[in-house]
Amino acid sequence: MKKAIFPGTFDPFTIGHFSVVERALTFMDEIVIGIGINENKDTYFPIEKREKMIRELYKDNPRVQVMSYDCLTIDFAQQVNAQFIVRGIRTVKDFEYEETIADINRKLAGIETILLFTEPELTCISSTTVRELLGYNKDISQFIPKGMNIND
């Protein structure tokens, strides 16, 4: 069984993130969406809210799990018995960062990273920009997956 983690802060989970999960499910048997707890990041939604929103989104898909973690990503991957890490990349800058981390993860734990390029129409969407829109009370519905409720 091929199992991957898809790690991130997901504050909030966007249509770009959703696309990565959907595409990864075409070649992975199971995906664990791992919400990393990063004390150095200012988040808009508390961790419990992010978990709830993403779990609700995938409630009918037994191949997707949602968990939070407070350790190195490779340690989390090993805890859930994942052989792969899936990451989405939008820019060359993302690629350079992800390549370095992937090399370290492979050396430390033998875990391979699979990079999925974002579809061109989604490259402008990031959690950072969606958070900023939320801060100005703008409608973000076009940037988050259909059916995701941010108001509960």
Annotated binding site for substrate: 9, 41, 73, 87
Task: In whole angstroms, give the CA distance from residue 94 to residue 104.
Answer: 16
Could you list the residues known to form a binding site, using ranges: 9-10, 17, 41, 73, 87-90, 98, 122-128
Structure tokens at 4: 């991957």
Structure tokens at 71: 């350790």
Q: Element (H or E) spanning 69, and its range? A: strand 64-69
Structure tokens at 121: 């129409």
Task: In whole angstroms, give the CA distance from residue 34 to residue 45.
Answer: 15
Could you list the residues known to form a binding site for ATP, using ranges: 9-10, 17, 88-90, 98, 122-128
Give strand pairing partners of 65: 32
Taking a C-beta distance cutoff of 8 angstroms, is the pair 116, 89 a contact?
yes
Least Cα distance to 128 among 74, 72, 90, 85 occurs for: 90
